[in-house]
Amino acid sequence: MTSQAAPPPLHDLTVVSLEQAVAAPFATRQLADLGARVIKVERPGSGDFARGYDEAVHGNSSYFVWLNRGKESITLDVKSPDGRAVLGELLDRADVLVQNLGPGAAERLGVDAASLARSHPRVIPCTVSGWGTSGPWADRKAYDLLVQCETGLLSITGTRDEMAKAGISVADIAAGMYAYSGILTALLRRATTGLVSAVEVSLFEALAEWMGAPAYYTRYGGRQPARVGAQHATIAPYGPYDTADGSLLLAVQNDREWHALCTVVLGDPAVATDPRFASNSARVAHRAELNELIGRTLKTVTTAAAATLLDEAGVANAGLNRIEEFLDHPVLAERERWHEVAVPGGVVAALRPPADLADVEPVMGAVPALGEHTDAILRELGRSAADVADLHDRAVI
């Protein structure tokens, strides 16, 4: 007999999402990859505004393609009585509601945690907000870069002369990850105890958690980490260095690696015990002298030769890749991380989810066109063809 593949872990769960942009869609996409049915409720006509960020991927937004595979899209005017009625019917069949609506919108629609506890007590509500649903900033809008500013991330990112934002949406991604893990935890609690826990994550508090090391360093060290470009603010040597034909990055994490670097790469074991460099704190304090010493040696050898010496010394190192080089990275190719996913107008190469589960294949379904599943979902809810046509005519869907 041929054994059948087991269904994906979340195959029997339905998630309804009222989501925009990055944080909430990132959480629900990961649920979809694990087999959950994710019904994405979008505005008629325009949809999730992330659809309009760019047209780089076969006419689709790069953000939207990344964040929305495997979902079903239904367009619905949830402000209208008919739209709210359909939303209620969707929630009747749902296990989880995820929303990152603007301040006050969830309450007005009756999908905040307190309202859902009364109307749909089995549904796990997940709220993704900017600054928290209570407190002095509950009514303020929040976008990723604003949160990077308020947490102090910008103040430690960049060069000595100029701050820089992180190159990806770190606050959104952090919030999406905590929403995802929070939902899984709430599902486990419901399954084992029958109790329903509301999940709330704010962008600000998610990124605040990620600021832990510089926060402790500043509070108890008396000063915040300096901006040092691509170098590490509190560990040295840890950063990029020029070679005879390019550059690479090396990272020393402990005394053993430091002694090996001095012996094998610099060819001078005595440097390891020089008082200016004998400890990590000393090396950070004398960073300029340290960098000049290492740079003088590495500039005499090619990048390939430098990498060989560093490998011999057991010192971690990496190439300073551009995105094009990352896309062709041999680790991703040889570990078969790229898989094809359908998008409106074409097919894209998408990375498998990074958490591999033994004997479980991620779903990695298609990216939906706006409202692609509207009619089918309404028919599933019992609407006749005439009813659906009427809702179209009245611009409810």
Q: Which residues are catalytic?
A: 172
Query: Sign of torsion, CA 351 356 361 365?
Result: negative
Q: How far apart are CA 218 and CA 226, in angstroms?
A: 10
How does strand 238-242 pair with strand 247-251? antiparallel
Can you list the alpha helix ranges (DSSP code H) found in the chain?
23-33, 62-67, 81-92, 105-109, 113-119, 144-150, 170-193, 203-210, 212-221, 255-260, 280-285, 287-298, 303-313, 323-327, 330-334, 374-380, 385-393
Q: How far apart are CA 203 and CA 131, in angstroms?
A: 6
Structure tokens at 313: 């010394």
Tell me which DSSP letter residue 264 carries.
Answer: I
3-class secondary-structure state, position 41: strand
Q: How far apart are CA 48 and CA 40, in angstroms?
A: 9
Q: How far apart are CA 42 and CA 374, in angstroms?
A: 10
How does strand 37-42 pair with strand 14-18? parallel
First-last CA distance in the chain = 47
> Which residue in the block uniquely carries the two structure tokens 């998610």?
206
Backbone phi and psi for residue 147, each to the nearest 5 degrees, phi listed first? -70, -40
| CA geometry: angle 94, 170, 33, nearest 5 deg | 35
Closest CA to 20 of 106, 119, 93: 106
How does strand 71-75 pair with strand 96-99? unpaired
